[in-house]
Amino acid sequence: MTINSADRTGNALRAPIGDDHSHDHSNPVLRPHTGKGNETATNILEQTINLLSTSGLAAVSIRSVAEKCNISPGNVTYYFKTKEVLFESLAAYMFERWTRRFYAKMPDFITSPDETFTYSIEFMIEENKRPKTSTMLQEMWALSNHSPAVLAMMDVFYSQMRAWIETLLRAMNPLQPLPTRHLRAALITAQIEGLMILIGRNRVPHPELIGLEREAVIQIKHLATANSSV
């Protein structure tokens, strides 16, 4: 499985995500359309993000997205046949945008797998605190128990996040058994997302939690490099 990203000069590159097909959600973003078709599909996804940010996931529907894009609902379903497909595509698209930001912002002096892992974890934590990302995640969690479309969206998003982390773990320790890598990536994903409960947007600050993010990075690195028990 691969995901589009961009290097620090803005040139396109293909970065492998994961090393097997356990997270292989066929990315429905930008199906084989050319020119204007891809522009329309991208605009639909961008306007869906804007609608989500201002009105929440519950307000997102084929019709509301069409109104936001000034196109007909039929034009939306031409690219994204159902709400479920739209949401899954949105999750993959948002993760791809995140990946591009990661490569654009990563300092040139970071070269080793260990440095890249540390920077990646810090970057993920900071990304989760961004208003749009924070809103999307909280909306996704709240609605996933009631909406199959949102549940599918959440599964795509976190499958790609786990696959990304697996790639980082493999770079640090190529000999780490694959089952161990799967489980460690899942635990690290849960730890990063769990921090949102305490340090997410609009959270009440507590003085005893000063330094929590730094401690989280340290403990996640310990988990990543600990000897395998599998």
Lowest-confidence region among 4-13, 64-73, 161-170, 178-187: 4-13
Residue 201's pLDDT is what?
73
State pLDDT tens for residues 116-129: 999 999 999 998 88
Residue 4 vs residue 111, higher pLDDT: 111
Q: Where are the domains of the chain?
A: 20-225
How far apart CA 98 and CA 80 sit, in angstroms, is: 21
Query: Residue 79 above 50 pLDDT?
Result: yes
Beta strands in the chain (DSSP E): 2-6, 12-16
145's tokens:
């128990």
Lowest-confidence region among 1-10, 72-81, 156-165: 1-10
Instruction: Supply the Cα-derived Rg of the chain in whole angstroms.
Output: 18
Main-chain phi, psi angles of 2, to 5 degrees: -130, 160
Name which CATH class applies to 20-225: mainly alpha
Bridge partners for 16 per DSSP: 2
Query: Residue 53 above 90 pLDDT?
Result: no
Residue 129's pLDDT is what?
86
Residue 15's pLDDT is what?
41
Kindly report the pTM of this predicted structure: 0.79
Query: Residue 10 above 60 pLDDT?
Result: no
Main-chain phi, psi angles of 11, to 5 degrees: -80, 145
Residue 35's pLDDT is what?
56
Longest Cα–Cα distance in the chain: 56
What's the mean per-residue pLDDT of the chain?
Answer: 83
Residue 29's pLDDT is what?
45
Query: Which pairing describes strands 2-6 and 12-16: parallel, antiparallel, or unpaired?
Result: antiparallel
Mean pLDDT, range 161-169, rounded to an integer:
96
pLDDT-based confidence at 167, cuts 50/70/90?
A: very high
